[in-house]
Each structure stands twice: as C-alpha cells, then as structure tokens.
Amino acid sequence: MSHNQKNSNASELHHVERAAPCFLPHASAKVSSPCVSGFTLVELLVVIAIIGILTSTILPSIQQAREAARRSTCMSNLRQVGLAMAMYQQSLGTLPPGCMERRPWRGSPLLKNYAWSALLLPYLEQNNLSSSIDFNVASDHPRNVAVGTTDLSLYLCPSATFRSQLRQGRSHYGGLYGQRISTKIETNNGVFIYDNPIRFEDILDGLTNTLAVSEDTLGPDSYWINGSNIFEQSGGINDPKAWIGDNEIRSQHLGGAMSLFCCGRVAFLSNSTDRFALAAWITRASGEPNELEQ
C-alpha cells in the first residue's frame, strides 16, 4: 500500500469517527430531565381568587339586566291589557264586569263565575282561545277544564319564578275590586266589581287617577278564567303584614309592583307608596284626586 493510500484511509476513518453518533453516554456525563412548565399552588390560588372577584362583580350586573328585561315584558303585558280594555269599552260601551255571575262560597255550581280576564280575550287577539270556552256553562265545568288550564303568556309575569309549581291557567294580574284601607263599609269602590260593568263615564276620579289592574302573583284565586281574579286591597304594596291567604298587590319585582291605570298608563309603584294614596288611586269615584293634586 502506498503512502498516499494510507493517508487517504486514515482521513476517511477520522471523518467517520467524527460523524458517527455516540449512543453510549460517557460514564461521567449527567442525564438531564426534560423541562416541565406549570402553575405553582400559590399562582393557582391567585387565579381562582381573581376569577371569584370577577364573577362576584359581573353576576349582579347580569342579574340586574335580566330583571330589567323581565320588568319590561311585564310592563308590556299590562299595556296590552290596557289597550284591550279601551277596545272593549269602545265596542260594548262598558268595561267587562269583574266577575260575571259571581258564585259565592258554596254557591250554586250553575253560576258561571267568569272573570274579566276571560271576557277580554277577543280583544287580546286570543279569538281561538276565547272560542274554545263554552260560555253556556260554568267556568269550571268539565267542558272548560282543558281551555281553563291553558297558560297565556300575556297574563304571566316573567319574574314570578314559582308559577311552574302551581296549576296552569294562572294570571299574575288581578282586577281591582276596591280597597278597604280608608273605608270598611263599601269596598266595591274599584273598577272591576261583581256583575256590574263599569263605564269610563262612571270613573269620576278620572281615568288617569284610577287603577284598574295590578300584579297579584301570590293570590290563591289568581286564574284568568276564574271570577275570583279580582280583589280588594287592604294594605300597602307587597305589604308583609297582609295575610297570605288574601289576594293583594304583590310581585316578585324588587321594590314594587306593576300597575295599570284606566287610561292605559302602566306605572311601577314602589313598596314605599303611601297606603292612603294607593287607596285613592283604587277608588273610582271618591273625589280624592283633587286632594292628591294639591
């Protein structure tokens, strides 16, 4: 072998030795573990605390926005009821009676006992529902059970969250029969009374000063077909002293209740509303508006 061939082979061998990977680590070499990133316990607790603070800050705002939307829907419901009352008056010359053929406790089952809210249906664009009622028989006759237990969203306040636990066909809006706050003798001083339709002309206190309908979300007789869907007011709005077994102005809105005046105006009356001012608004012809305006 020539001298040049030896040099060439040695060069190739040296190149191979440098290029070949080493699969066996040197005895003195240290094997490093892979780098793993993550949160420490302190960092995790800080993140949880921040999320909790953000949630406690944002959640009330969300709830307030939802309640504002529910109040708006409730107000819209009552505005439609007010418009229907005006059309009923224009068509028939009177408002519907609060209760048609009132049936007292243990009264004859032949008495029909229909509420103003059932008579108003054709003027609320509920002709199909109204035509399904057999007005020749009583409101609770077996022929009317199916229609009488039909939920009508227009008569339901979206803030009344407990309604699903009760029988269907409820109404969260009751007609005002009268008040016994300032009088105990004649309490049929409101707009919706038994078997006697009231005309706008009979509301001497003025349509803008007289309440017709208000929220009654806890009343025992609050069904739109039932003639007992009217009530006399005995206390303030959402009055905690009022007997739970009575129909009263109550709502699940924070701080007050929606109410409809005879002129079609809807107002949110606060819990702090003076009881005697409320009594004056409920009566139809007692002369209080002049006192209130002074």
> Looking at the DSSP assignment, which residues form a beta bridge with residue 162?
none
- The DSSP call for residue 12 is H
The two counts, helices (H) then strands (E), for the chain are 7, 7
The Cα–Cα gap between 5 and 282 comes to 123
Residue 91 phi, psi dihedral angles, 5° rounding: -80, -45
Long-range contacts of 147-155 (CB under 8 A, 24+ apart): 147/225, 148/223, 148/225, 148/226, 152/126, 152/224, 153/77, 154/77, 154/80, 154/81, 154/124, 154/126, 155/77, 155/117, 155/224
- The DSSP call for residue 227 is T
pLDDT in tens, 69-92: 889 999 999 999 999 999 999 999
pLDDT in tens, 244-256: 888 999 999 999 9
pLDDT attached to residue 38: 62
Contact 115/195 with Cβ under 8 angstroms? no
* Number of alpha carbons in the 13 Å side-chain half-sphere of residue 278: 29
Alpha-carbon distance values, 273 to 67, 148, 191, 213 (Å): 21, 34, 20, 16
pLDDT in tens, 39-62: 687 777 777 877 877 777 766 666
Alpha-carbon distance values, 3 to 9, 36, 112 (Å): 10, 56, 130
* Residue from 104, 99, 117, 88 nearest 214 by CA: 117
The Cα–Cα gap between 216 and 228 comes to 12
* Residue from 171, 159, 263, 271 nearest 224 by CA: 171
Average pLDDT of 105-121? 95
Contact 233/191 with Cβ under 8 angstroms? no
Cβ atoms < 10 Å from Cβ of 285? 13
pLDDT at 119 over 90: yes
Q: What is the pTM of this model?
A: 0.77
pLDDT attached to residue 51: 80
